[in-house]
């Protein structure tokens, strides 16, 4: 028998060599994801082609693919690996390609396969009373965003929309929530994440209930939508958002939006939406400086003290240690502080810096295990492109850059060798990985945007 060349990149598995019995895989999906997720989503996945290292799976619609990729891909891959360890990626093929052109021409039939998901799966975005203006600490990195938010509360539709953007964990949701709480006292506020907006959208299409959907979102006097970057690449959703947005602005409802980047940087979002988003006031939140971090820690400690009616055992030295070590993410800063406070309370001990170093070893030493899979998933979610496309041989920049960034992070954040990394990226050569690492290193030195993206990705990967 002829030996198969190992260099062959994509060895298609012939009928008799097939190892996967799709029915068994499906059963394991049901067991591991629960009946609800299974029957709503995973049941509708078909196996189209089996290769040695990847599968081509069929899904009914683009929505389906986006939804599955953004929430379940990691787990699906892990599950597939238990059946066949050589699988390192999946590609999705959309079986009923269709395009939603306007809000009146939805093809309901396309969505009939979307079984209803219980509301409990995605939490409702109710306003959180703990995220208010009183406990939002101001500093030079956020004071413009804070004062603009307060002004909107004083005089509705003076800046319309108000668009707040910034990196992960810098206080965007906190500010949006604070605005919501303030305005909720006098008027009708809708506060929702873009992801949840999409959930309602799909549900209404399925139930043939778009009229209620439109009413529901268009009747509010204040419409706050968090993490709008979620609409990137989702045509139908953008279309609906655009109409909702216009009708709100037309009747002078206040619209407040947050995102992880400036409006014009929202790639794969229609131009008319981008320009609408920039049409009011655009403000950003930057990474906190040392001073703000110290202020936030002190404020938290005061709150904890008054809550537990005990004096804090945290010294100034420890405070400045935490503030220096936590570089940008305020969520992480608070997490670290909580750990230290808890430790000190349990052990009734005044902690030194070196105690803290020990307690936080796992946080700061990055003892966390980061895998190439995890990097690929995080990067593909971040840039909102399917993993299969990121790993494909296509060379267009919107795919090639994320691919290079993922290779760069794999080199920097795992102990894998260059050839190993190459193999994990659809059998590329190690020289391709070297080139990627060099390119991204060079770009992140001279391009602020690239540097910011890399920083954000790193902190996403290090988050718990």
Nearer to ligand ADP, 179 or 399 (CB): 179
Which distant-in-sequence residues (6+ apart) come within 8 Å of 317 by Cβ? 352, 353
Query: Which listed range, 1-9, 67-75, 170-178, 244-252, lies at the site for Mg ion (CB under 5 A)?
Result: 170-178
Q: Which of 331, 357, 412, 435 binds ligand ADP (CB under 6 A)?
A: 331
Q: Are 162 and 256 in contact (CB under 8 A)?
A: yes
Q: Is 180 near ligand ADP (CB under 6 A)?
A: no
Q: Which of 270, 285, 396, 374 is nearest to 331 (CA)?
A: 285
Give the footprint of ligand ADP on residues 113-132 (CB under 6 A): 131
The distance of Cα 166 from the centroid of its chain, to the nearest Å, equals 13
Query: Which listed range, 171-179, 376-384, 414-422, 423-431, lies at the site for Mg ion (CB under 5 A)?
Result: 171-179
- The encoded tokens of residue 314 equal 């945290």
- Please name every residue paired with 284 in a beta bridge, in sequence order, or none if there are none: 165
The distance of Cα 102 from the centroid of its chain, to the nearest Å, equals 27
Query: Which listed range, 147-155, 199-207, 330-338, 405-413, lies at the site for ligand ADP (CB under 6 A)?
Result: 330-338
Q: How far is the CB of 464 from ligand ADP (least distance, A)?
A: 14
Q: Are 344 and 313 in contact (CB under 8 A)?
A: yes
Q: How far is the CB of 176 from Mg ion (least distance, A)?
A: 8
Q: Is 137 near ligand ADP (CB under 6 A)?
A: yes
Nearer to Mg ion, 110 or 284 (CB): 284
Q: Is 456 near Mg ion (CB under 5 A)?
A: no
Neighbours of 265 (CB within 10 A): 13
Site map for ligand ADP, 425-464, x if CB under 6 A?
----------------------------------------
Q: Is 170 near ligand ADP (CB under 6 A)?
A: yes
Q: How far is the CB of 339 from ligand ADP (least distance, A)?
A: 14
Number of residues lying near ligand ADP (CB under 6 A): 17
Q: Which of 56, 94, 210, 334 binds ligand ADP (CB under 6 A)?
A: 334
Phi, psi values for residue 127, rounded to 5°:
-70, 135
Number of residues lying near Mg ion (CB under 5 A): 1
Q: Are 138 and 146 in contact (CB under 8 A)?
A: yes
Q: What is the DSSP letter of 414?
A: S
Q: What is the C-alpha radius of gyration for the chain, rounded to an integer number of angstroms?
A: 24
Residue nearest to ligand ADP (CB): 171
Q: Is 328 near Mg ion (CB under 5 A)?
A: no
Q: Is 173 near Mg ion (CB under 5 A)?
A: yes
Phi, psi values for residue 193, rounded to 5°:
-85, 155
Site map for ligand ADP, 268-297, x if CB under 6 A?
----------------------------x-
Q: Which of 273, 330, 337, 450 binds ligand ADP (CB under 6 A)?
A: 330
Q: Which of 173, 204, 376, 456 binds ligand ADP (CB under 6 A)?
A: 173
Nearer to Mg ion, 40 or 173 (CB): 173
At residue 116, the 3 state secondary structure works out as coil
Q: Is 386 near ligand ADP (CB under 6 A)?
A: no
Residue nearest to Mg ion (CB): 173
Q: Which of 62, 65, 89, 174 binds ligand ADP (CB under 6 A)?
A: 174
Phi, psi values for residue 92, rounded to 5°:
-110, 140
- The encoded tokens of residue 328 equal 């940008």
Neighbours of 329 (CB within 10 A): 22
Query: Which listed range, 169-177, 230-238, 399-407, 432-440, lies at the site for ligand ADP (CB under 6 A)?
Result: 169-177
Give the burial string for 27-66 (b: 16+ CB within 10 Å, else e).
eebeeebeeebbebbbebbebeebbbbbbebbbbbbbbbb
Q: Which of 41, 92, 106, 136 binds ligand ADP (CB under 6 A)?
A: 136
What pairing do the DSSP bridges indicate for beta strands 89-94 and 222-226? unpaired
Q: Which of 49, 45, 38 is nearest to 65 (CA)?
A: 45
Nearer to ligand ADP, 174 or 428 (CB): 174
Q: Which does 168 bind (CB under 5 to 8 A by kind): Mg ion, ligand ADP, none?
A: ligand ADP
Rounded Cα distance between 296 and 405, Å, is 33
- The encoded tokens of residue 331 equal 């969520």
For helices 290-308 and 330-346, what crossing angle results, to 10°?
40
Nearer to Mg ion, 173 or 377 (CB): 173
Rounded Cα distance between 282 and 164, Å, is 6
Which residues are near ligand ADP by CB under 6 A? Answer: 131, 135-137, 142, 166, 168-174, 296, 330-331, 334
């Amino acid at each position: 028998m002829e030996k198969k060349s190992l260099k062959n990149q994509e060895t298609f598995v012939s009928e008799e060599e097939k190892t996967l019995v799709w029915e068994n895989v499906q059963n394991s999906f049901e067991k591991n994801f629960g009946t609800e997720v299974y029957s709503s989503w995973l049941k509708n996945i078909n196996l189209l082609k089996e290769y040695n290292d990847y599968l081509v799976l069929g899904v009914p619609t683009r929505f389906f693919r986006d939804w599955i990729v953004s929430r379940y891909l990691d787990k699906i891959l892990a599950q597939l690996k238990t059946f066949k360890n050589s699988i390192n990626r999946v590609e999705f093929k959309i079986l009923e390609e269709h395009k939603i052109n306007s809000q009146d021409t939805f093809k309901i039939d396309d969505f009939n396969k979307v079984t209803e998901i219980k509301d409990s799966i995605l939490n409702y975005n109710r306003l959180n009373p703990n995220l208010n203006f009183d406990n939002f600490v101001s500093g030079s990195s956020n004071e413009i965003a804070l004062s603009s938010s307060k002004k909107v509360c004083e005089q509705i539709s003076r800046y319309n929309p108000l668009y707040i953007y910034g990196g992960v964990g810098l206080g965007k949701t906190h500010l949006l929530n604070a605005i919501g709480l303030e305005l909720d006292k006098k008027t009708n506020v809708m506060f929702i994440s873009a992801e949840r907006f999409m959930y309602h959208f799909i549900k209404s299409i399925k139930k043939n209930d778009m009229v209620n959907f439109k009413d529901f979102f268009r009747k509010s006097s204040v419409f706050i939508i968090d993490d709008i970057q979620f609409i990137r690449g989702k045509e139908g959703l953008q279309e609906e958002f655009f109409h909702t947005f216009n009708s709100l602005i037309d009747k002078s409802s206040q619209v407040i939006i947050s995102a992880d980047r400036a409006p014009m940087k929202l790639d794969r979002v229609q131009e008319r939406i981008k320009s609408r988003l920039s049409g009011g006031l655009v403000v950003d939140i930057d990474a906190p400086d040392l001073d703000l971090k110290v202020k936030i820690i002190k404020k938290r400690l005061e709150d904890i003290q008054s809550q537990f009616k005990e004096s804090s055992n945290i010294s100034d030295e420890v405070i400045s240690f935490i503030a220096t070590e936590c570089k940008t993410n305020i969520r992480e800063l608070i997490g670290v502080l909580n750990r230290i406070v808890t430790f000190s309370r349990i052990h009734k001990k005044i902690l030194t810096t070196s105690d803290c170093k020990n307690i936080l070893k796992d946080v700061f030493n990055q003892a966390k295990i980061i895998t190439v899979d995890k990097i690929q998933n995080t990067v593909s979610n971040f840039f909102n492109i399917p993993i299969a496309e990121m790993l494909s041989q296509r060379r267009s920049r919107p795919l090639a850059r994320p691919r290079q960034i993922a290779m760069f992070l794999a080199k920097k954040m795992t102990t894998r060798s260059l050839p190993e990394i190459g193999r994990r990226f659809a059998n590329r050569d190690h020289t391709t990985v070297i080139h990627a690492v060099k390119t991204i290193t060079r770009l992140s030195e001279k391009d602020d945007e690239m540097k910011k993206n890399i920083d954000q990705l790193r902190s996403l990967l290090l988050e718990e």
